[in-house]
Amino acid sequence: MEVTMAKPILLVDDDPQMRDALKEAIQRLGHGTVVAENGQDALTKLGNTPFAMVVTDMQMPKMDGLSFLKELRKRVGKLPVLVITGFGTVENAVEVMKEGATDYLMKPFSFDKLTRKVHSIMEGLTGSREIVSTNARMIRILQIASEISTSDTTVLIYGESGTGKELIARHIHRHSNRKDKPFVAVNCAAIPDNLMESELFGHEKGSFTGATDRKIGKFELANDGTILLDEIGEMSMGLQAKLLRVLQEKEIDRVGGRHTIPINIRVLATTNRDLYKESTEGNFREDLYYRLSVFPIHVPPLRERADDIIPLSEHFIKKFSALLNKELKGLTKESAEFLEAKQWRGNIRELENVIHRAVLLSKGEFITIDDFMCDTDTPIVAVDNSAKGIKEMEKDLILKTLKDVNGNKTKAAKILGVSVRTIRNKLNEYGKFFPDP
């Protein structure tokens, strides 16, 4: 998928100043560029190089944008094209969309807007693994993440729930020398403690009741690659000691096994807890904390990078429109303002869910404020009608239990006999947020 990223973007404009400006803006996004002065010039260049997409002006001498677009569609069917149209020429914009432009940008436009459009078109090409951000702090974090990818440093990625920690972990693996080797994620919150050791390190046949076969653990599966210890803060103290040993000795013992097995592994971990604080309070081993946080990365909450709200929303609108077979073009001004004003305690995951519901509800070309109305109070959850009764009861039970224990998810999970992870997932699904007490 990343192959498309490597292809340059073709920029077509007769105005040299405009060309330079476009070039600079797009290169800043990390894409290569090739420039052409008019349609004819562009067609010649198209013959020689595969491009990721085209950005073209409309009014140009020799061959105007519209004839260029028609010709281009004949030659390369699917290439995405962003058309820049003159101020106030709405008919023009409609016409270019009919001729197969992917999107248009009306003059005058801010570079921010251009960047977003190009970005979202490229996104459509590269799938949902891409990390969307126009926030300076976030971009810096991603740069750092890319830079440390190639080393074998242990990285602790921490931040609130739903901020994109797992996405960053995957990003690090994809940019590492281990990218063709396995990436194995273990959710430390989802697996009951008594099964966790065998999940991580495997077991030999007959090593305990129920061990009817040999099992290869996640560490062995991830050998030569990367292991992600997701939600490491949920790991029991006993297992933390074992994990520390593995990290120090670089070898594992299968449960009931007689030999140690050497492993070569890159360890990444995530947490939404303050592990340092937990370690000072005796809830997390201090030595393990230092071992894991060789390189800590803090992922800021969405409310501290509000400039990402709209680009992310557009990204999710694209994603869910494609998924739900809708032809949504974006947000109305009011709906954008609504999203920008919200607090987003559930961060990007919450935003993603809100957009998902809005895309489901929307009837027009743009998401309007009405499409969010269900999110101002109790959000609706897409449920199968026949299951609605049970779902509703489950929701009531979870919310009531949480209230009873003052929002303490660990306690609620214990009472209900489910994992903390399940509680979190359910809360995300309901669009509810309970701050950790």
Closest residue to ligand ATP in the complex (CB): 164
Question: Among ligand ATP, Mg ion, none, what does residue 349 contact (CB within 5–8 Å per kind)?
Answer: ligand ATP
Which residue is listed with tokens 């029991």? 236
Residue matched to tokens 């305990």: 208
Residue 22 binding target from ligand ATP, Mg ion, none, CB below 5 to 8 Å by type: none
Q: Is 11 helix (H, G, I), strand (E, B) or coil?
A: strand
Q: Using the minimum distance from each CB to ligand ATP, give the nearer residue, 133 or 293.
A: 133
**The entry of ligand ATP, Mg ion, none that residue 359 binds, CB within 5 to 8 Å by partner kind:** none
Q: Based on CB atoms, which residue is closest to ligand ATP, 7 or 165?
A: 165
We find the least distance from the C-beta atom of residue 424 to ligand ATP, in angstroms, to be: 6
The C-alpha atoms of residue 256 and residue 426 are separated, in whole angstroms, by 36
- Which residues make Cβ contacts (< 8 Å) with residue 149, sequence separation at least 6? 171, 172, 173, 174, 175, 176
Q: C-alpha angle 42/43/49, rounded to 5°?
A: 85
Residue 409 CB, nearest approach to ligand ATP (Å): 12
Nearest to Mg ion by Cβ — which residue? Answer: 166
Minimum CB distance to ligand ATP smaller for 49 or for 143: 143
Choose between 79 and 402: whose C-beta lies nearer to ligand ATP.
402
Task: Please choose which of ligand ATP, Mg ion, none residue 352 contacts, taking the beta carbon within 5 to 8 angstroms, the exact cut-off set by kind.
Answer: ligand ATP
Q: Which is nearer to ligand ATP, 85 or 163 (CB)?
A: 163
State the nearest-atom distance from the C-beta of 312 to ligand ATP, in Å. Answer: 6
The entry of ligand ATP, Mg ion, none near residue 348 (CB within 5 to 8 angstroms by kind) is: ligand ATP
Cβ pair 291, 247 in contact under 8 A: yes
> Which residue lies nearer to ligand ATP by CB, 106 or 306?
306
Nearer residue to Mg ion within complex by CB, 7 or 218: 218
Write down the least CB distance from residue 210 to ligand ATP, Å.
29
* CA 420/CA 390 separation, integer angstroms: 20
Is the Cβ of residue 32 or residue 300 nearer to Mg ion in the bound state?
300
Closest listed residue to residue 176, CA positions, set 309, 306, 267: 267
Strand pairing class (202-203; 215-216)? antiparallel
Cα separation, 346 vs 428, whole angstroms: 7
CB of 299 to ligand ATP, least distance (A): 6
* Nearest-angstrom CA–CA distance, 302 and 100: 35
Residues of this chain that bind ligand ATP (CB under 6 A): 131-133, 161-167, 270, 272, 312, 315, 348-349, 352
The item of ligand ATP, Mg ion, none sharing an interface with residue 133, based on CB under 5 to 8 Å by kind, is: ligand ATP
- The least CB distance from residue 228 to Mg ion, in Å, is 9
33 binds, among ligand ATP, Mg ion, none (CB under 5 to 8 A by kind): none
What is the closest distance, in whole angstroms, from the C-beta atom of residue 192 to Mg ion in the complex? 19
> How many Å separate Cα 430 from the centre of its chain?
20
Q: What minimum distance in Å lies between the beta carbon of 113 and ligand ATP?
A: 19
Q: Which does 200 bind (CB under 5 to 8 A by kind): Mg ion, ligand ATP, none?
A: none
Q: Are 51 and 8 in contact (CB under 8 A)?
A: yes
> What is the smallest separation between the CB atom of 288 and Mg ion, expressed in angstroms?
19
Q: Taking the complex as a whole, how short is the minimal distance between the CB of residue 271 and ligand ATP, in angstroms?
A: 9
Name the site residues for Mg ion (rule: CB under 5 A): 166
Q: Which does 335 bind (CB under 5 to 8 A by kind): Mg ion, ligand ATP, none?
A: none
How far apart CA 381 and CA 369 sit, in angstroms, is 18
Whether the Cβ atoms of residue 199 and residue 310 lie closer than 8 Å to each other: no
For 29, what's the count of Cα atoms within 13 Å in the CB-facing half-sphere? 29
225 binds, among Mg ion, ligand ATP, none (CB under 5 to 8 A by kind): none
User: Smaller CB distance to Mg ion: residue 166 or 204?
Assistant: 166
Q: Which residues pair with 33 in a beta bridge?
A: 9
Residues 6 or more apart in contact with residue 53 via CB below 8 angstroms: 9, 10, 79, 80, 81, 82, 102, 118, 121, 122, 125
Peptide bond into 108 cis (omega under 30): yes
φ, ψ of residue 2 to 5 degrees: the values are -70, -10
- Tell me whether residue 8 or residue 233 sits nearer to ligand ATP (CB atom): 233
In angstroms, rounded to a whole number, what is the distance separating the alpha carbons of residues 211 and 256? 10
Q: What are 136's two structure tokens?
A: 């300076």
